Structure 1
Amino acid sequence: MKTYQAIGAIETFGLVFVVQAADAMCKAADVDVVGYENTASGYISVIVQGDVAACKSAVEAGVKAVENMGAEVYSSVVIASPHQDLNKIIDRYSLDILLDEE
């Protein structure tokens, strides 16, 4: 089972804002975008993985990017040592799985 040192996530309203957040996250730190999920009525979350410091920097940059566009970040989180069972959730939103279904 593949594990990572940290998981970072940002939730906002609208695809444009979450794409901007993901771009800022990847540019700010050495993280991998795991995937995204349209959670409900336009709320969208983006998930990244990497080491703890990278995820913290990435989430901070993503939040700032969304706020600079005049939008609101509804939630953000960095989980420094995720339990291995979180892979069940993370794998559900993996871009790799979404691309395999096509």
Structure 2
Amino acid sequence: MDRYEALGLIETFGIVYVLEAADAMCKAADVELIGFENVASGYISVLVHGDVGACNTAVETGVKAVENMGAEVYSSVVIPRPHQDIEKIIERYSIENLRG
């Protein structure tokens, strides 16, 4: 797995809202969808990667998309130049591993 320039993550409640966030994120910036994870009790996180500026734009747009639907974003973050060991966690969320 290549090292990412940045990771962008959004966590909200419900698959409908996380799909709206993911769609908005991928349309707003040159980011690639890594995957998603049902964290607990309906909270779902979606992860993207790309350059720092693209991840910032994607996360901001994804948050607005969820809020425009009347839902709340539980948390969001952009991690520039994540440490290489973070890849051990990211692999678990990869869409490629879900197809498996």
Same-fold call, TM cutoff 0.5: yes
Letter of the 1:56 counterpart: N
TM-score (norm 1): 0.96
Secondary structure of the 2:89 match is helix
- What residue number does 1:15 align with? 15
CA RMSD of aligned residues (A): 0.6
Runs of 4+ in structure 1 over 4 Å off:
none
Q: Which runs of 5+ in 1 are unaligned?
A: none
Matched residue, 1:96: 96
Q: For the residues of structure 2 that align with 1:53 and 1:47, how far apart are their CA atoms?
A: 15
Paired position in structure 2 for 1:65: 65
Identity %, equivalent residues:
70
Matched positions, count: 100
Unaligned runs of 5+ in 2: none
Instruction: Supply the distance in 1 between the matched residues of 2:24 and 2:97 (Cα, whole angstroms).
Output: 24
Tell me the secondary structure at the aligned position of residue 82 of structure 1.
Answer: coil
AA aligned to 2:55 is: C
Deviation (angstroms), 1:81: 1.0
What pairs up with 1:14-93 in 2 under 5 angstroms?
Answer: 14-93=14-93
State how far apart, in whole Å, the 2-side matches of 1:55 and 1:9 are: 9
The whole-number CA distance in structure 2 between the counterparts of 1:97 and 1:40 is 19
Q: Distance in 1 between matches of 2:54 and 2:12?
A: 20
CA distance in 1, matches of 2:51, 2:24: 17
Q: Distance in 2 between matches of 1:90 and 1:40?
A: 17
> Does the residue aligned with 1:59 lie in a helix, a strand or coil?
helix
> Aligned to 1:63, what secondary structure does the other structure show?
helix
| Cα distance in 1, alignment partners of residues 2 and 57 from structure 2 | 22
